[in-house]
Amino acid sequence: MNRTGTIVALLAAALAAGCATKKGFEKPGFAYGCPLGDAKASSMDDLVRLKVVSEGKRTTILATEMRCTMTGDLLRIDANLNNDSSRVKRIAYKFRWIDREGMRAWEEEVWKPLLMYESSNLTINAVSPTNKAVDFRLLLMSQE
C-alpha cells in the first residue's frame, strides 16, 4: 500500500515537473522574454493585457503579440499592432519605462504618431533608454 502511494506521488511529481518545464527556455517572472514583475501570464493574451494601456481617446487598434529580448543590458521590445477594420486608422503610441521599485525609470516619451492601413499589421519596436528600466507599458491613444 505504501509502495503504491509512493509510486502515485512520484508520478504526480513527474507530471508537475513536466508541466513546469513546458516553457523551459523561459526565465521565471518572464513571458515571451518580457518581464512580468509580480503578475502572472500564461498566454500571449495575458501578456498583452498586462502590458498595453489605453490613454485618452480609445482606439480599436489592438496589440496582438509582444516579444522582448535583451540587447546588452537594455530591454528591446517588438509589439505587433493589428487594424482589422476596413478603414485607415491613426493612432499615437509611446512606451513607459518602470524601474525595479515600480517607479518611472525615465521621463515620459514623446507620443509617436502612427498610420495603420486597413486590415493590416505593423510591428513597432523600442529599446529601453537605461538599464534601470526593467519593466514597461505600451500606451496607445486614438488620433481620429
- Tell me the C-alpha distance between 128 and 142, whole Å: 24
User: Does 64 contact another protein by CB under 8 A?
Assistant: no
Sign of the CA dihedral running 142, 107, 131, 31: negative
* Shortest Å distance, C-beta 50 to another protein: 23
* Shortest Å distance, C-beta 93 to another protein: 11
Among residues 26, 108, 118, 144, the one that binds another protein under rule CB under 8 A:
108
133 phi, psi to nearest 5 deg: -80, 110
Among residues 87, 112, 119, 144, the one that binds another protein under rule CB under 8 A:
112
Other CB atoms within a 10 A radius of the CB of residue 47 amount to 23
Among residues 43, 60, 123, 130, the one that binds another protein under rule CB under 8 A:
130
Contact range with another protein by CB under 8 A, out of 1-9, 12-20, 46-54, 123-131: 123-131
Binding to another protein, residues 67-86 (CB under 8 A): 71-72, 74, 76
Does residue 140 contact residue 93 with C-beta atoms inside 8 Å? yes
Which triple of cell numbers denotes residue 78? 517588438
> Residue 129, CB half-sphere, CA atoms under 13 Å: how many?
13
Which residues of the chain form contacts with another protein (CB under 8 A)? Answer: 71-72, 74, 76, 92, 94, 108-113, 126-127, 129-130, 143
